[in-house]
Structure 1
Amino acid sequence: MNKSEAILFLEGMYRDIVGNLNTDKIPDYFAGNYMQTTDGVSSDLHAFGDHIAELKRITRQIRVSPFHDILFDEEEQTAVVRYEVDVTKNNGARGQVELIALFQWSGDKIVRCHELSRPISPGEEFKDIASVS
């Protein structure tokens, strides 16, 4: 995979999985041995699916910004992206969270993600949104 392909892949993944909260699309993007660590919370593919299902339950809308920064290492098949999400919860609360994520591919699937998040506004209600399950 080259940088352009990685960007298109990640844009599609964020659209399908995070923006549309479509758990049926998870196998299209993630390997069966997928591992993720978000803000120190580790999860496997099953737990990641639970996280997306919980987001679907508690949110009305999640919008992912275009990537602000993208670094790609073709030899290692890794990408680092920085972006923001605008979240509207079912209770009407709105917030924005900045994320930095490091992805690693094996073949055509993501096998690892290490992610850090920080609420931009308002703070407390959205501080765990990236790792809620």
Structure 2
Amino acid sequence: MNSYKELIRNAFKAVVETPSYDLNIIEKYFSLEYRQYVDGEELDFDGFCKHMKAQKLAIKSSLIDFQTMVQEGDIVFTNHSVEIQTNEDRHALIHVIAEFRIKNDKIIYCNELTRLVSGDERERDLGSRQ
């Protein structure tokens, strides 16, 4: 069985924590069939790319801390937090519970709930901002 937990870790480091937007890196980890459901919003692959561009415009730095990660077959569940610093030097901590599905060694599906633990209310939509 593949270690899809490592795939998720690598994808977050390369796509989320890296301050620049790179479509080639996104395509390395995410399927063109990708669907994301986050806090009542639905994003397809193009919507996810817009979401990542919007995050890169708003965020100076982000750091992911996976507290729990469990794999069952091609499904990975995570309980993680994201510490961010915006370009305006605001800080926020976001708690995320997520289910990822993998197909052909790429992330094809994500269903997540996010919660702003601390920080400015303007960061509340960072999980789905486009």
CA contact (8 A) 1:23 1:53 kept: no
1:98 to 90, 95, 100: 95
SS at match of 2:98: strand
**Residues in 1 aligned to 2:22 and 2:114: alpha-carbon distance in whole angstroms:** 21
The alpha carbon displacement at 1:123 in A equals 5.3
Between Structure 1 and Structure 2, which shows a larger proportion of strand residues? Answer: 2
RMSD, aligned α-carbons? 1.2
**Aligned twin of 1:26:** 26
The answer to whether residue 53 in structure 2 is matched with residue 53 in structure 1 is yes
**Aligned twin of 1:118:** 115
In the alignment, structure 2 segments of 5+ residues that lack a partner are none
**Residues in 1 aligned to 2:22 and 2:39: alpha-carbon distance in whole angstroms:** 22
The answer to whether residue 24 in structure 2 is matched with residue 6 in structure 1 is no
* Number of aligned residues: 128
The alpha carbon displacement at 1:27 in A equals 0.7
In the alignment, structure 1 segments of 5+ residues that lack a partner are none
CA contact (8 A) 1:23 1:49 kept: no
**Aligned twin of 1:78:** 75
**Residues in 1 aligned to 2:59 and 2:87: alpha-carbon distance in whole angstroms:** 5
The alpha carbon displacement at 1:51 in A equals 0.5
The alpha carbon displacement at 1:22 in A equals 3.6
**Residues in 1 aligned to 2:96 and 2:14: alpha-carbon distance in whole angstroms:** 18
SS at match of 2:61: strand
TM-score, reference length from structure 1: 0.91
Runs of 4+ in 1 over 3 A off after TM superposition: none
**Residues in 1 aligned to 2:120 and 2:113: alpha-carbon distance in whole angstroms:** 15
Percent of counterpart pairs with the same letter?
24
The answer to whether residue 125 in structure 2 is matched with residue 131 in structure 1 is no
The alpha carbon displacement at 1:9 in A equals 0.7
CA contact (8 A) 1:16 1:22 kept: no
